[in-house]
Every structure is written in structure tokens, then in C-alpha cells.
Structure 1
């Protein structure tokens, strides 16, 4: 009898200390995975999400607009989307809220060949810009155009996949491409001194970039889970900022067709995009409410938001671990 009681006690004890089964959570990226997503792949490979009770499924995206719509409709619990694009989606009824910023500075820029006669944005008039239809740069083009002193309808957009941009510029089937600053080194190697470049910041636009957004209903019902996801993700980005090689290895193991040197170059650019006073002094991933409000007003004024909302409802910093901050490295 003693043995039976002991066995039962051990079984009960095992049940008490065993971790709960992980909940399935889907994260839809903004595009196909690259260096900026490597911390997420690293955290997953290390079992950090699973240990936090999250069975994370990572899905490639097709642009910030598509991701914002999917998350806003509940098709994916979490996603990564450009914040101004997510604002436009919320104005159309998408139920979503940003819980962590990845790019505190906009990564957006336009590239062209100097040999085409383009010297800057003022020469974009009548030219062809190649990018995907769901690309944040296309949705935000009216804001860039007006800031640069152009009419929004003065250019022609050509649909391209992300992978086809450089080839299209090289073949001159388009005159300009939009792309993230992450990929800058690749273009410098491809085009050398013939490469022209205008970051959005050059015309006074520095809106928040890629951010982690959560479906509103999921967030309200799973606050503890979202807090755990955000904390793990913060820790992963902090770890990769300090030492990138293990994160690169996790990315390369999880995603085919990537060039390691290109991804390493990208990460050096990404660290610059992640860093501002708020992410360095408040928390890695934290939003500045005044900047969010300014981004909202810019989008509303230059592009339009179908149904107005309080910009403060677009984001929250409450799930961030304030002890984790972006380093100055």
C-alpha cells in the first residue's frame, strides 16, 4: 500500500510541475524571412517560445498591408507590419494593436541608376517605380511625394516581387525601385558608383517602421501570453545585437536560399534602424506616443484614414520588459 501511495504521490507531483502544453500561435511576417527576423528564428530554435507556453508558427508575408489585414481579421494572432500601413488597416476596420516596434527608424528608401539621368526625387516624374502591390512604400507614396514636392500621380508603378527588384533595375525595365535600407550593401556591390539612393528621411519622413501587431480580440483574451511572447522576442533581439552569429545560423537553418554574408551586412544596418532614444532609454521595442501621434496625423493628412481613431489606441508598451534596452553598440 505504501508503494501505491508513493507512486500516486510521485504522479501527482509530476503533474504539478510539468509545463502546460504550448498554445499554437501564428506569426505572419511582413515579407519573406531575412536578417531582421533572425532573432525570432533564434528564439524558436532555442525553445524560448515553447518554454513560455507558445508553439510558434512563422509564416512568410506578402507585404505589410496583407499582414495587417490578416491579423486584423483574426486570421493570424500576431504579425509584423509597417506601423503607418497598420494604421490605415485599422482605419478600415482591422482589429489590431502594435505591441513592440522593431524599426524605430523608417527603413524605406528609393534606388535608381545615376546613368538614367535621375539625380534625386524631383526627377521621378514620369518614371516607372517597381515594387510589390502590397508594399508599404507604395501605400505611403503620397506622403513621400508631397514631402518631396511631387504630385502623387506623377509616377507609374510596376508590380514586382521583392526578389525581382534588382534585376528589373539592372535591365532598366523600371527606373526606380523601393527597398529597405537593410539591403543597401547588396545594391552597392551590384551597381557601384552608378547607384542613386534617397532614404525617406531625406525628405523629412521618419515614420515608425516594422512593428509587431496583435489581433485585438486575441490580445484582450491572452494578455499573459502576449506579454510572454513580447518578453521572449525582446530578449532575442537583445541577444542578437550582442552576438549575431548564432542568430544567423538559426535563420540559415530555417530558411533556404539566403546568402550569409548578405544577411550579416543587413543586420549591421538593422541595428541602426532599431535604435532611438526611446528604445535605448525606455525599453527595446518601446514606442514614443508623440511620434505615433505624428505618424497618425501624417497618414491621415496626406493619405487618409477611412474611420478616425485615437492614435493612442494604436499601440501599447505595457507588455514590454523595461529592463531590456537597445544597446549603443
Structure 2
């Protein structure tokens, strides 16, 4: 994480610093991959710096951890799965979501058909491998109820993001959760033996990743947050139009990534970013009815320790409404 911060600062240093630039830490949901490329691109291009922001990008350890960190004010800005963030909000995390990155849930489960699993009904008695703070662990009871199995019928095994595929291949785990982003990598690795179910395909489609901001920071720094949001939205638009410069920025800052894999990821990410709201209202915009449904989902499946008005935890007001998500 320290390396990422230094790289982000070094990239920003290549452009003239605006007067009184404000240094801001941004915690990601995971280690950086293609879905984070727009932030690195905007840093390298000097867009944040020109707007008076020096952005420090830090790798994350899961949406749950990122939501808690932003909610507590440890990091003023972050990226987190929205449903997971709502669970954190019900436990006291204080944040406002300013931009939806994934209009569709990226959550999915992967397995090998040769292990005798044909679908979620066969998950009972199996081992699911993922990191402790993985969003799918938080949301597992909801998924289990939807597919008709007991939530306690599986055993979760702690597996790092990098170890998911090797663990599945070796048989150390039977199933792993992962974002749709890396679907192509798994298809190349396992071919026809790969089993997959997308949460959205079984009717579970809460918002995925979103940019969230600590509520107190937003209250004290409204202009900074507004500027950050518009620059970020502009960066995502640029990457949708031409991802190659964005991949250049990502690969220059993060070691160990394969360019073709990241390009494949980005093509999947564009599918997740696209819905009627992001193509007609604005790229990154939330839909009120969907957010209300997401709150009901959290209330039904996880309980709400501290009830809250869901309309208070997201806003479209900071988005540039002239920027739309491409329809194709």
C-alpha cells in the first residue's frame, strides 16, 4: 500500500501543482485492477492536481473494511460495494455515496463441474474460499435464502484474492466468489469445466462498487468533494471511450498485472456500469427505487441496528449530467 501511495504521488508530481492542493487519501475495495484504472489515469494526467487535489491511492482489503474505514473518517474517500456499505451504515458508519461505479452487481460464484457441482443447490456441505472481508461473505445469507439452502450449510475458508484460482484448481476449496471482472481469465484457465452463477441472474442485483465519502469530511469540504466527483466521472468517461491510456497508467503504478487480462476485465466492467439510469441520467447516477430496494434487502436479510433514511446516504447532485454512460 505504501508503494501505491508513493507511485500515485510520483505520478502527480509530473504535473504542476495547483496552489494549496489538498492531500486526500482514497482507500480502494481491493488491490488495484482495471476497475480502478480511471483513478490512476486521472492522477497521471494531472486532472486531480489541476483541480487542487493530491490523491493518495491505497489498496484495500475488502468492501466491508473500506466502508468501515471511510465511515469512521480514517480515509475520507473510498470505494466499496454498496450493499456492504449499507450494512456498515446500519452499524454506525457515516458516509455518502457520490458515484455508482457498478450499476449491476458484479458478484458471482465459480466452481468446477468435475467436482460434482452443477449449481448453487449443490453448494451445501462445500468449502467456499474468499477473503474474510469479502462482500459476498457479508451478503451470503441473502444469496443462500434466494437459492434455497441453509446459510450455515457451507464452510468459509480464508483465501487471499491472488490465491482464489490456485485454491480452486488444487481442490483446497470447492467454490470461490469473485467479481465478474475476471470472468475471461477463469474461462481461459478452466474452459468447459468452469461453473458460474451471477447474482444478478438469480434476481439479486444490488448496486455494486460505489465511491463513498465520509459524511463529516463532505460537510466540511463540499467544494473539494464536488470537484473530486466530477474529475472521477470524467476519468471513467475517458476510459470508456479509450481504455488503453488508462491501462498504461494502471500498469505503470501497479506491478504484476497482465495487460490483456486487464483489458478483458474492463470490457466486463463496462457491462456492469451500464443500465437505464447511467445511460440516460448520468454516468455514475443512482436510481431512487433501486436504492430503496437495496435498503429493504439489507433490512430483511441482515437487520438494521440503527435505522436510517437511505436517501441520505447517496446523491447524484455532484455529477455532471452531461456525461452519460455509453449504451454499447
Q: TM-score range by the shorter chain?
A: over 0.9
Cα root mean square deviation, aligned: 0.9
Q: Could you tell me which residue of structure 2 aligns to residue 317 of structure 1?
A: 316
Aligned to 1:153: 152
- Cα distance in 1 between the residues matched to 2:243 and 2:84: 29
1:22 counterpart residue number? 21
The CA distance in 2 between the partners of 1:273 and 1:292, in whole Å, is 16
2:128 corresponds to which residue? 129
**Paired residues of 2:18 and 2:51 also in contact (CA < 8 A):** no
Cα deviation 1:106-141 (Å, max 9, x = unaligned): 000000000011000000001000000100000000
Task: Provide the residue aligned with 1:198 in structure 2.
Answer: 197
Does the 8 A contact of 2:18 with 2:49 survive in 1?
no
**2:208 aligned residue:** 209
Q: How many residues align?
A: 312
Deviation of 1:202 after TM superposition, in Å, equals 2.4
Per-residue displacement from partner, 1:210-239 (whole Å, max 9, x unpaired)? 000000000001111111101000110000
Name the CA distance, whole Å, in 2 between partners of 1:42 and 1:76: 21
3-state secondary structure, aligned to 1:97: strand
1:42 corresponds in structure 2 to 41
Structure 2 distance, partners of 1:202, 1:196, is 14
Q: Which residue of 2 aligns with 1:4?
A: none
Residue equivalent to 1:241: 240
Contact 2:76 2:217 in 1 (8 A): yes
Unaligned runs of at least 5 residues, structure 1: 1-17
**1:289-311: per-residue Cα shift (whole Å, max 9, x none)?**
11011011011101222111111
Secondary structure, aligned partner of 1:71: helix
> 2:188 matched to 1:171?
no
Helix, strand or coil: the match of 1:207?
Answer: coil
Aligned to 1:87: 86
| Structure 1 moving runs of 4+ over 4 Å | none
- The Cα of 1:151 is off from its aligned counterpart by 1.1
SS of the residue aligned with 1:140? helix
Once residues 58 and 312 of structure 1 are traced to their aligned partners in structure 2, the CA distance between those partners, rounded to angstroms, is 28
User: Aligned equivalents of 1:185 and 1:282: distance in 2?
Assistant: 30
Give 1:95 deviation, angstroms: 1.0
Deviation at 1:19, TM superposition (A): 4.2
Structure 2 unpaired stretches of 5+: 1-16
